[in-house]
Structure 1
């Protein structure tokens, strides 16, 4: 082993361990690995940021913008409403739901596809006799499977195509993944809808009626003799800290104020609306002279017309993950109240202002239509109730669909490389204003872009130093023992296992050089091994952290970490059983590439 090989091996092991730990976000880990590779002399400083110019990175960014255009034009909403059954049993409902999710994921970002269909799934689940989790987990897994069908279905496919181009061959085309990906998707959906959904544990999800906010809301009147008169709302909240609640609204002389300023002083006749434990609140309010007020049904109706209560799930890529409500200033900056939080089906036990938001949490927010829509769009939250549709904009929907279809056709027919075809599509979206220009860059998941761009030079360093070849030879000699089919299955299973615990794009970037090294060692077709990486990197079903879609359903489905393997393990077995023979059929091992 040379010095460069030893350094490369140590670097990749440390990087994988950091990915696995989850303590740092994946883009931070990737950038750290890149800088370390430059410092160790494994990557020339002049080439450190060449990854940002890679076609795969450009294509991912453009596809995300095109996906956004399909969403906000109403095209996907129309398709969902017309394709999903109004009634039916579990099998029919799940077959349609998963099939639609897989179809959308083949041509748009699969996180976006799941986000669009989640509210619909929650709505139709009770009619089909399904719990929220029994609808959400099959849908999430279906959208993950659908990403394997085309070049643009998921970032790992684009990464694999980029590595193929580096061998001297042309990159994989738009539908080169389809024979294997479609077979895997059809088999996976058939298993999920006929058998698999029964393996999903019935948990009490965090969506729907589980918050039961009526049990936590109380109104306190301020009589003339109350010692609270003249105190600020912040001071009153501090006095009522034992109740663990917050003042969410104030009514003064018939005017209803949502999320009032903490500096506002209380006067006689005010009505304070609090979210707190009722029994503790009554005891804590007595020293202040506050009394429980009776609710007026007419006033309650009027308030409900003015103020909305809506549930949202936190996306894995939300910029606000890791923050607390106090950090965000929800009340002071946005005029929004956070009334309740649930994680894995359980309501938060700590004070809400101290709750650190995580991906998959379900938040119950209160505010005006304008305040909620503006904040949640910026925050990266997904509504769980049935959403207001992006109402009929048939011209825009047809235009968005046409632009996406044209970009796909141009790439599939070889009229332009995928990066150019989808860049033209993004340019068309910008010119036609299908996506507001101010939202174009917000449509792109920059953490994924940085991850891809940073890991590619690191992967190149593995290849140049011979580290990937060394690792591949070790696996092939001591594990696969020179058997090409066994080696192919090993690459698939190892990739799938890594993808269950680390980002799938990072997994593909790490495994592609090893796959190419394995094919070179055995003298077989490298395309087969690259396709095994593509399937394995995408099909992660054992944990909630393996794929963003798995994380997204964690809160709404009320799932625990150990719930995923019950359906995920047999599903991965089905994927492996179908993928290996399909890869061998579509990419015969004996068809050795001219530039292995």
Structure 2
């Protein structure tokens, strides 16, 4: 064994030990490992940071951004309603989600499949009161398993097929991998769904909010085309039950109804007064096709008409300023901010300021009305919040008490929590002026059908470009990010916030380390040594060993690199034993796709590291049973469909 091979093995062993110890953050350990490799000379200094430009790193970052677009536009809510059971328990929900991920991964990039379903997984976790990781890890593993089923499912399959062709044989066809791959994927999904998900360590996201503000009182408008139109209040209440929300009142034909009868039919234009938790508002809005009253354009076309309507309903205008504006070609209104708020200074100032206020600057934030605040005893109408402060009040949380007044005319009280919408500067300035306390910024998704369709189309095109080989995955997804920013499905200020930078540093730092294992011949040395000392001329035992070694390497280095290293070893072993090389190559393909023990073995494992709140050593608890199952199921099937 050469000196550089001893050095890289020592560094790798120390790195894995530090990961498992968990004392230091994973990106710090990865960076230290890279610097150690540079220090001992196994990684050239000029190549030390090449990992930051690696396609895998770019793909992970872009997928995170595109996933944010699906979340904020409401596309995820629609997908969850269509594809997943609504009232199923955790087992059935996880089974449906994992199975869908496996199916999609067979025909598209498995990173893209995970990106599409990861926000849905987070919704399921919240609804079923599970830790995010208990759904995210089954999803990631399902997407990896699904890649085994077709030629284009994962890069190792393409590498194995190409290696077979380079040896003078025909490359594997699209569905040559399916007889074994489908059975293995199905068995893995079944194991995960039946009880494997319970093995996932329960971790909570570090960024989770530390308080529960309770239920908010808010108003929602029933627009034309809403699924609530024509339903009775009793039917709507049934839909709201799963969101733990309820209707407290309504405004119909400009008259307030404080205790509406359950048989009353809801019509377009009605306003429902709903009590709901802030975290469920977006699902509620998306599920019934409702709109927050503050976001609904006025029906009138001048200030007088709007004022008359306000007087009849007993409140001031909520959604927009006094002037209606003709929609532009893109459906927006000239001079609108994203929330329709009025900047201070009146209509003249509004026309200039709104054009300068990018959509990305609008946020949702909670503010508390503290004792002695200038807000106490005054309403949004009295303060003229929209015109003077460019702020909308979307909801009020008042502990233990309700009011039957319209939201905009309801006086604030000390201790109230207000969910407000506006720019960060506007909200901060308003809170400081009136002695209120800004709290958490809320990630409330207000559904936008146009943006949801656009975000879905952008991701679908990126996946299609990758699946059909038109563009490399990194380029296709990067173009998707550019398109998302240009089309405003992902606000520019959220692009960098959507990326989990510690995960990016982890992946970028370890790519050169894995490359050093390959370039120094260490991976090849380990694989050949194990085969010669253990297999000893037994073809079936050799087949098992090829798969086990491939699985092990795939947990520590890139799966494509693992396949490239193991293909010549597998063929050489088959030739030495005088048996058919095809089952050995298939064993490499399956083993290279079995990176279930670490977050660095596969991009999908890396993607869920941050959102799941995982530690480096959390993966093996579910990963070991899955890998053992893959081994037990695949070996007999390989011998059946690819005889030695």
In 2, the alpha carbon distance for the partners of 1:164 and 1:453 equals 28
Shift of 1:94: 4.3
State whether structure 2 residue 138 is matched by structure 1 residue 141.
yes
| Equivalent position of 2:95 in the other structure | 95
Task: Show the 5 A alignment for 1:310-349.
Answer: none
Cα distance, 1:477–1:450 mapped onto 2, change above 3 Å:
same
| Equivalent position of 1:262 in the other structure | none
Shift of 1:528: 3.7
Report if the CA contact (8 A) 2:562-2:592 is conserved: no
Shift of 1:537: 1.0
| Equivalent position of 1:372 in the other structure | 441
State whether structure 2 residue 469 is matched by structure 1 residue 411.
no
| 3-state SS of 2:142 partner | helix
| Equivalent position of 2:245 in the other structure | none
State whether structure 2 residue 69 is matched by structure 1 residue 69.
yes
Cα distance, 1:93–1:10 mapped onto 2, change above 3 Å:
closer
Structure possessing the higher radius of gyration over alpha carbons: 2
| Equivalent position of 1:196 in the other structure | 195
Report if the CA contact (8 A) 2:18-2:29 is conserved: yes
Match of 1:519 among 566, 570, 584: 570
Cα distance, 1:47–1:498 mapped onto 2, change above 3 Å:
closer
Report if the CA contact (8 A) 2:70-2:76 is conserved: yes
Cα distance, 1:442–1:146 mapped onto 2, change above 3 Å:
same
In 1, the alpha carbon distance for the partners of 2:565 and 2:75 equals 41
| Equivalent position of 1:8 in the other structure | 8
For normalisation by structure 1, the TM-score amounts to 0.55
The CA RMSD measured in Å over matched residues stands at 5.6
Report if the CA contact (8 A) 1:508-1:534 is conserved: yes
Report if the CA contact (8 A) 2:596-2:623 is conserved: no
| Equivalent position of 2:456 in the other structure | 401
Shift of 1:191: 3.3
Shift of 1:80: 0.5
In 1, the alpha carbon distance for the partners of 2:463 and 2:3 equals 45
Q: Structure 2, unaligned stretches of length 5 or more? A: 215-367, 378-398, 404-409, 420-427, 432-436, 575-580, 600-604
| 3-state SS of 1:36 partner | helix
State whether structure 2 residue 530 is matched by structure 1 residue 475.
yes
Cα distance, 1:147–1:175 mapped onto 2, change above 3 Å:
farther
| Equivalent position of 2:294 in the other structure | none
Cα distance, 1:196–1:571 mapped onto 2, change above 3 Å:
farther
Report if the CA contact (8 A) 1:19-1:26 is conserved: yes
Shift of 1:79: 0.6
| 3-state SS of 2:371 partner | strand
Shift of 1:165: 9.0
Report if the CA contact (8 A) 1:57-1:449 is conserved: yes
Task: Show the 5 A alignment for 1:414-453.
Answer: 414-453=469-508
For normalisation by structure 2, the TM-score amounts to 0.52
Cα distance, 1:115–1:372 mapped onto 2, change above 3 Å:
same
| 3-state SS of 2:490 partner | coil
| 3-state SS of 1:372 partner | strand
In 2, the alpha carbon distance for the partners of 1:35 and 1:406 equals 39
| Equivalent position of 1:326 in the other structure | none
| 3-state SS of 1:251 partner | coil
State whether structure 2 residue 417 is matched by structure 1 residue 306.
yes
In 2, the alpha carbon distance for the partners of 1:507 and 1:84 equals 32
Q: Structure 1, unaligned stretches of length 5 or more? A: 126-131, 215-247, 258-293, 309-331, 336-365, 377-387, 591-596
In 1, the alpha carbon distance for the partners of 2:7 and 2:52 equals 24
State whether structure 2 residue 100 is matched by structure 1 residue 86.
no
Report if the CA contact (8 A) 1:102-1:143 is conserved: no
| Equivalent position of 1:108 in the other structure | 112
Cα distance, 1:443–1:491 mapped onto 2, change above 3 Å:
farther
Task: Show the 5 A alignment for 1:158-169.
Answer: none
Report if the CA contact (8 A) 1:94-1:139 is conserved: no
In 2, the alpha carbon distance for the partners of 1:192 and 1:457 equals 33
| Equivalent position of 2:354 in the other structure | none
Match of 1:391 among 447, 461, 476: 447
State whether structure 2 residue 589 is matched by structure 1 residue 534.
no
In 1, the alpha carbon distance for the partners of 2:191 and 2:85 equals 20
In 2, the alpha carbon distance for the partners of 1:202 and 1:22 equals 14
In 1, the alpha carbon distance for the partners of 2:571 and 2:22 equals 33
| Equivalent position of 1:119 in the other structure | 123
Cα distance, 1:302–1:84 mapped onto 2, change above 3 Å:
farther
| 3-state SS of 1:415 partner | coil
